[in-house]
C-alpha cells in the first residue's frame, strides 16, 4: 500500500492541473482545434497509464531504460562525489524511481542519509515509488511534488536551500509538439532554479532539449550583438 502522504519520511504536495471530466472536455476541444492536434500528457498518467508506461520501458526494443540503469549502477558513487555532502536529489518525471535508487544508495553510503525530491504528474507513481524506496532505505526522506515539470520546479525554487543534484532521465511518450514544449519549458525553468549552482544529469534524449535551448540562446545573443 502507498505511504501516508504526510508521514514523517514522506510528504506529497499537489500542484497538478485539474484532470476531471470538465477539464478533460475543455482540453480535448482546445487540442482538436489546434494545429498540430494535442492532448496534455497528464491525462495519460493515471494509475493504469503509469503502469503501461513502465511496461513499455521494460520492452526489449526500448533500450534507454537499460542503458541508463547500467550507467547509473556503474557510476553512481562518482556522480554523487561531484556534489556537496547532503545535497538534495531532484528528479523530473521520476516515475518508478528504479534507476534513481542507485544514486540514492550512493548518497546514503557517503552521507548516511538522502533527501529525494521527485516531480511527476502521476500521484500513483509517486506514492508507489516512495513505498518501495522507503522500505529499502530507512534514512531516506522524500518530499514529492505532483505537478508538470515547470510547475514542480517553481514549487522547489525557494530561498535558503542547499545544493542539489538534478536528474532528467529517459524520455516521455507524448506527442512531439507537446513534448518539445515541455522540454523547453523545463530547461528554461532549470536555469532559473539552479541557484546555488547544482549538478544536472540528463538522460540520452533529454540532451536534445538542452542542445536546442542552448542553440536558441546563442542565436539570440549573436543577433542582439549585430
Q: Could you tell me the residue ranges of all domains in the chain?
A: 10-225
Q: Supply the pLDDT for residue 106.
A: 96
Q: Indicate the pLDDT class of residue 163, thresholds 50, 70 and 90.
A: confident
Burial of 147 (0-12, 13-18, 19+ CB in 10 A): buried
pLDDT above 90: residue 46: no
Burial of 80 (0-12, 13-18, 19+ CB in 10 A): buried
Closest CA to 158 of 143, 148, 169: 143
Q: Supply the pLDDT for residue 133.
A: 96
pLDDT digits (tens, 9 = 90+) for 116-159: 999 998 888 899 999 999 999 999 999 999 988 778 888 877 65
pLDDT above 50: residue 60: yes
Domain 10-225 superfamily per CATH: Vaccinia Virus protein VP39 (3.40.50.150)
Q: Which residue has the higher pLDDT, 137 or 196?
A: 137
Closest CA to 43 of 174, 186, 180: 174
Q: Which residue has the higher pLDDT, 7 or 140?
A: 140
Q: Which residue has the higher pLDDT, 105 or 6?
A: 105
Burial of 36 (0-12, 13-18, 19+ CB in 10 A): exposed
Amino acid at each position: 500500500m502507498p505511504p501516508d502522504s504526510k508521514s514523517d519520511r514522506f510528504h506529497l504536495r499537489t500542484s497538478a492541473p485539474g484532470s476531471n471530466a470538465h477539464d478533460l472536455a475543455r482540453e480535448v476541444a482546445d487540442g482538436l482545434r489546434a494545429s498540430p492536434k494535442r492532448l496534455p500528457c497528464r491525462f495519460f498518467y493515471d494509475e493504469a497509464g503509469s503502469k503501461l508506461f513502465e511496461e513499455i520501458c521494460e520492452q526489449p526494443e526500448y533500450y534507454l531504460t537499460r542503458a541508463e540503469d547500467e550507467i547509473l549502477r556503474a557510476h553512481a558513487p562518482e556522480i554523487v562525489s561531484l556534489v556537496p555532502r547532503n545535497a538534495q536529489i531532484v528528479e523530473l518525471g521520476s516515475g518508478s524511481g528504479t534507476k534513481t535508487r542507485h544514486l540514492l544508495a550512493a548518497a546514503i553510503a557517503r552521507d548516511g542519509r538522502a533527501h529525494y525530491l521527485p516531480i511527476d504528474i502521476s500521484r500513483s507513481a509517486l506514492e508507489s515509488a516512495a513505498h518501495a524506496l522507503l522500505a529499502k532505505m530507512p534514512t531516506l526522506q522524500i518530499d514529492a511534488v505532483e505537478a508538470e515539470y515547470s510547475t514542480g520546479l517553481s514549487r522547489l525554487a525557494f530561498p535558503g536551500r542547499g545544493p542539489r543534484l538534478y536528474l532528467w532521465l529517459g524520455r516521455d511518450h507524448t506527442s512531439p509538439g507537446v513534448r518539445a514544449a515541455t522540454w523547453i519549458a523545463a530547461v528554461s525553468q532549470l536555469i532559473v532554479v539552479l541557484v546555488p549552482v547544482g549538478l544536472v544529469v540528463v538522460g540520452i534524449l533529454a540532451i536534445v532539449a538542452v542542445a536546442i535551448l542552448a542553440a536558441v540562446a546563442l542565436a539570440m545573443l549573436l543577433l542582439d550583438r549585430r
